Chains A and B, each alone.
Chain A
Amino acid sequence: MKTCDLVIIGGGPAGLAAAKAAYDCGVRDMIILEREAQLGGILNQCIHNGFGLHTFKEELTGPEYAQRYIDMVLERNIPYKLDSTVINIDKNRVVTYVNEEDGLQKVQAKAVILSCGCRERPRGAINIAGARVAGVYSAGTAQKLVNIDGFMPGKEVVILGSGDIGLIMARRMTFEGASVKAVVELMPYSSGLNRNIVQCLNDFNIPLKFSHTVVDIKGKDGRVSSVVIAQVDDKLKPIMETAEEIQCDTLLLSVGLLPENELAGYADVNLSPITGGAVVNDKMMTSVEGIFECGNVLHVHDLVDFVSEESEHAGKCAAEYIAKGCGSSEKIPVKGVNGVRYVVPQIINKDDDFEPISLKMRVGNVFKNVEVAVMLDGEKIASKKKQIVTPGEMETIVLKSDLVQKVKNGANVEVTLIGR
């Protein structure tokens, strides 16, 4: 069997950043395996601007941001294979992939980085009743059709879900001459960025209906002809008396992203039921030694800048693992409590390098005027005051070296909201 120090699965922003960082930490025997015909991942279809302010201090479009990292990989001559789909990994880090040239190949890796991104939740996962007719697309599929294939999926559009992709597509379809009748959101808040509500909906007077959902899809001649929407009560059940019918030929679903973790499952990696991604320690290592995870496959990020940052860290840690093996095995869990839905990493691995640890978290609801705080055995050691926190925006708190040093084995580390 072929061997390789580092196999990176997925050539999106996460895989590219991890590859660059691992190379810069000395790894040479490595390969990126990408299932599509080009590197760059989902960013290739995100042609809007809004990427990279954090990383490059300028606002780039998705393809421009991706190209910066592709160039870094090309400059370093890091090998990659396109049109190559990984179909299996096992817990001993044997990676199986297929492509036309090599057929079915197995590679024994010293370390594996999973950076396979996420996919959209399909119609089946949310159970909308109604006709099985043409004209129902996920927002990301519509984005690919419009931006890559040059094909307009419809003229009169209703969008279910106000996540960023739904918002971005409302504007994109409007730009291409479609009429977007409404964006319908089940929750009383949007999981998208405020700026996207302003520049994608308000700018074009597209109504955003909170606490509403689609209760029926009607069809004529095999195509969507209208959808019925209704308000929901506080238990999210539709109130049928409020139902109204909207004429349209297209329904876009922007109802959330799911990390692609089949591969992690095959390798017996522990997955978190909350994030859908792996449970990782502060070195981004999963429960299986030598298998790392980063980017959207680990937890859904709203900003690619944070994907790059997290993935560079994963690449560096994988390089250290290849050179030195695992450090200590003392594991201190980090918990999200009192409104904090999850924290990544879920585990701090006690060792003596005391490198700063960046804790990323999401809340479960909208809270105003709260302090997001890291508590060590009941004592606040780091915090951030926020006018507003929403489930749509990830928060980060960095624990500096001196604080990391304080986290002793057996400690109780929690992230909480003070003042809610």
Chain B
Amino acid sequence: MVRKMICISCPLGCHLEVDCSDMNDIKVSGNTCPRGKIYGINEVTAPKRMVTSSVKVNGSDAVLVSVKTSEPVPKDKIFECLDVIKTISVDAPVKIGDVLYENICGCGSNIVATKHADKI
């Protein structure tokens, strides 16, 4: 079976054709770079997405500090991860790259800050 899809690994959005008639030898075409091949294979085996959101921050001018998953998480765990992210709150100061939560939902991905929040 050949699946057509759009690579989302960069804004170019290449149109991929992923031949998964043999799941042990998945063939990807239409990709401009190697990331497209990895994306195509993941998409038919274990699709993953980056999750970005924000968490509450205490003791800063800002109300929220933005966060992301350090690695893409399985697509079917996105909402589980978001439920956990909603419970996180942190104290200022926060720096970009600070790990605010480890191994979210057992996905092996951490929640890291993507913005500075100074203490007031």
A53 & B6 in contact (Cβ 8 Å cutoff): no
Chain A residue with Cβ nearest B66? A47
Does any Cβ of B come within 8 Å of A147's Cβ? yes
**Hey, which chain A residues are within 8 Å of B9, CB to CB?**
195
Is there contact, CB below 8 Å, between B54 and A47? yes
Segment at the interface with B among A10-18, A59-67, A87-95: A59-67
- Whether A150 and B116, one on each chain, are in contact in the complex, defined by CB atoms closer than 8 angstroms, is no
Chain B residues contacting A175 (CB-CB under 8 Å) are: 51, 53, 78, 82
Residue of B with least CB distance to A302: B11
| A365 is an interface residue with CB less than 8 A from chain B | no
Given known A61-B52, A302-B11, contact A150–B63 (CB-CB < 8 A): yes
Tell me how many residues of A have a C-beta within 8 Å of chain B. Answer: 27
Tier of interface size on chain B: 20 to 34
Interchain CB contact (< 8 A) of B64 among A49, A150, A195: A150
| Most B C-beta atoms less than 10 A away, residue of A50, A147, A195, A303 | A195
* A47 in contact with B49 given A64-B114, A302-B11 (CB within 8 Å): no
Q: CB of B15 within 8 A of chain A?
A: yes
CA distance A203 to B96 in the complex (A): 28
Q: Is the CB of B68 within 8 A of A61?
A: yes
Q: Mark B45-57, 1 if CB is under 8 A from A, else 0.
A: 0000111111010
Give the CA-CA distance A149 to B75 in the complex, in Å.
28
List 10 additional A-B contacts (Cβ < 8 Å) besides A47-B66, A197-B6: A47-B52, A47-B114, A47-B115, A49-B52, A67-B115, A147-B66, A148-B64, A195-B7, A198-B5, A198-B6
Residues of A near any B CB (own CB < 8 A): 44, 47-50, 53, 59-61, 63-64, 67, 147-150, 175, 193-195, 197-199, 203, 302-303, 387
Pairs of residues from A and B, 4 with the lowest C-beta to C-beta distance, nearest first: A194-B13, A47-B66, A195-B8, A63-B115
Chain B residues in the interface with A (C-beta under 8 A):
5-11, 13, 15, 49-54, 56, 62-64, 66, 68, 75, 78, 82, 96, 114-116
* Sample of 14 A–B contacts (CB below 8 Å): A47-B53, A47-B54, A59-B10, A61-B66, A63-B66, A63-B96, A63-B114, A147-B54, A149-B64, A150-B54, A195-B9, A195-B10, A195-B11, A199-B49
